[in-house]
């Protein structure tokens, strides 16, 4: 595979056709995947290098241009991006602490290791803000979007995830997933291991918290301050972290909503498309066309592109669903 095309793919500048070409090449052989991961890691290591001017400026923005010098001057973090992801990092200094922002575009995901050893997987359309070093009293990060946390245990310092709608998750050491997009009304927390204190404002706008146990999912409805607690295996809630899409008797509309979110796509559904079709299946690291072809084979539903997404990353893929 042409290295220039792979780098174009990694940096998020590839066209839709080029993305499909690279994805097919990666799927074809395990050696191809190994080569891609190696190139991805090299690219990320280079991306995280810094210039000496960072320490003299109050604010600096990094994008997908090569930047020079030592990675440890930027932050005590290391990011490994998966798939098509690119990272935009904003760093600014305040009292010798550099705040950094990792943004992940739709359809991509990124892994970040924080200064305390906590590992975070950040989903698409998500922004994670964190310091290059934590204070001696607490560890706090801010999330707009979805992320999975494996928090390094520190009995002396709580780890706090501040989310949208005046809610927060407080832990010591645990594994959990948070879905909290500012544009959405719900904040969803799924606990895998350990214990979580979910703090929120109730219907009376009074501060309240709920202690969660492993295997529980909590949905907080910010509009009315109500919550819903249920049990879950976590399989579907965490599937995005491993590049999986899971349908379990999922309706067509719900399946398309999942695909729209995962691949940054917009579906135009014709009126005669049936509502009662449902689908089951698990897809790992599959592109959008492969999943849509499965749906077509399993039903009378057909699909076609309404745009060619030539300006990759700047507009959604638009797809018509018809029979």
Q: Is residue 76 part of a domain?
A: yes
Domain limit, last residue, from 197, 231, 265 = 231
**Does one domain contain both 269 and 218?**
no
Alpha-carbon torsion angle 237, 238, 242, 244, nearest 10: -10
Most confident of 41-50, 143-152, 305-314: 143-152
CA distance linking residue 77 with residue 98, whole number of Å? 12
**Does one domain contain both 144 and 292?**
no
For residue 297, what are the domain limits?
243-322
Domain limit, last residue, from 205, 231, 257 = 231
**Alpha helix ranges (H) inside the chain:** 3-10, 16-28, 30-47, 252-263, 288-297
CA distance linking residue 218 with residue 232, whole number of Å? 10
Contact 168, 199 (CB under 8 A): yes
Q: Is residue 72 part of a domain?
A: yes
Q: Is residue 12 part of a domain?
A: no
Phi and psi at residue 111, to the nearest 5°: -110, 135
Q: Is residue 29 part of a domain?
A: no
Place of tokens 């095309």: 5
Q: Is residue 82 part of a domain?
A: yes
**86-97: average pLDDT:** 51
**Does one domain contain both 81 and 225?**
yes
147 alpha carbon, distance to own chain's centre = 6
Average pLDDT, the chain: 80
What pTM did the predictor assign?
A: 0.69
Q: What is the pLDDT of residue 95?
A: 53
CA distance linking residue 196 with residue 173, whole number of Å? 9
**Range from 39-48, 147-156, 215-224, 240-249 carrying the lowest mean pLDDT:** 39-48
**Does one domain contain both 225 and 258?**
no
Q: What is the pLDDT of residue 17?
A: 77
Residues 172, 174, 179, 181, CA torsion sign: positive
Q: What is the pLDDT of residue 8?
A: 78
Name the DSSP class of 153: P
Q: Is residue 27 part of a domain?
A: no
**Does one domain contain both 110 and 201?**
yes
**111-115: average pLDDT:** 91
**Does one domain contain both 47 and 191?**
yes
Pair of tokens at residue 290: 């492969």
Question: Residue 176 class from Cβ within 10 Å (0-12 exposed, 13-18 middle, 19+ buried)?
Answer: buried
**Does one domain contain both 90 and 183?**
yes
Domain limit, last residue, from 178, 209, 231 = 231
pLDDT bin (cut points 50, 70, 90) of residue 73 is very low
Q: Is residue 1 part of a domain?
A: no
Contact 187, 200 (CB under 8 A): yes
**Does one domain contain both 201 and 89?**
yes
Q: What is the pLDDT of residue 126?
A: 93
**Does one domain contain both 63 and 150?**
yes
**Does one domain contain both 194 and 221?**
yes
Provide the CATH number for the domain around residue 203. Answer: 2.60.120.1440
Q: Is residue 6 part of a domain?
A: no
Most confident of 16-20, 38-42, 57-61, 172-176: 172-176
Give every CB contact of residue 42 below 8 A, 6+ residues apart in sequence: none
**Does one domain contain both 89 and 151?**
yes
5 SS3 class: helix
Provide the CATH number for the domain around residue 279. Answer: 3.55.50.30
pLDDT bin (cut points 50, 70, 90) of residue 217 is very high
Name the residue among 174, 163, 230 with its Cα closest to residue 199. Answer: 163
Q: Which residues of 92-105 are buried (b: 16+ CB within 10 A; e: fewer)?
A: ebeeeebbbbbbbb
pLDDT bin (cut points 50, 70, 90) of residue 5 is confident
Tally of structural domains, the chain: 2
**Does one domain contain both 65 and 103?**
yes
């Amino acid at each position: 595979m042409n290295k220039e095309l792979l780098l174009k793919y990694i940096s998020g500048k590839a066209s839709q056709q080029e993305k499909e070409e690279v994805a097919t090449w990666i799927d074809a052989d395990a050696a191809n995947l190994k080569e891609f991961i190696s190139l991805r890691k090299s690219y990320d290591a280079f991306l995280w290098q810094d210039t000496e001017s960072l320490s003299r400026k109050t604010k600096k923005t990094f994008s997908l241009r090569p930047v020079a010098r030592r990675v440890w001057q930027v932050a005590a973090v290391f990011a490994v991006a998966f798939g098509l992801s690119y990272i935009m990092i904003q760093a600014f200094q305040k009292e010798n602490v550099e705040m950094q922002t990792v943004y992940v575009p739709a359809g991509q995901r990124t892994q970040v290791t924080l200064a305390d050893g906590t590992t975070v997987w950040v989903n698409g359309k998500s922004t994670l803000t964190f310091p290059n070093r934590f204070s001696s009293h607490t560890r706090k990060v801010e999330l707009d979007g979805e992320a999975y946390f494996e928090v390094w245990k520190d009995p002396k310092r709580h780890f706090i995830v501040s989310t949208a709608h005046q809610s927060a998750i407080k832990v010591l050491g645990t594994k959990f997933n948070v879905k909290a997009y500012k544009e959405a009304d719900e904040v969803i927390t799924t606990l895998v291991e350990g214990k979580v204190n979910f703090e929120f404002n109730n219907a009376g706008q009074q501060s309240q918290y709920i202690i969660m146990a492993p295997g529980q999912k909590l949905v907080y409805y910010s509009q009315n301050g109500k919550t819903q607690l249920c049990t879950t295996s976590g399989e579907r809630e965490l599937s995005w972290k491993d590049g999986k899409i899971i349908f379990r008797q999922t309706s067509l509309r719900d399946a398309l909503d999942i695909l729209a979110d995962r691949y940054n796509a917009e579906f135009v559904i014709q009126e005669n498309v049936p509502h009662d079709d449902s689908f089951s299946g698990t897809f790992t690291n599959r592109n959008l066309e492969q999943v849509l072809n499965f749906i077509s084979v399993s039903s009378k539903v057909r699909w076609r592109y309404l745009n060619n997404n030539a300006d990759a990353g700047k507009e959604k893929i638009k797809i018509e669903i018809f029979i």
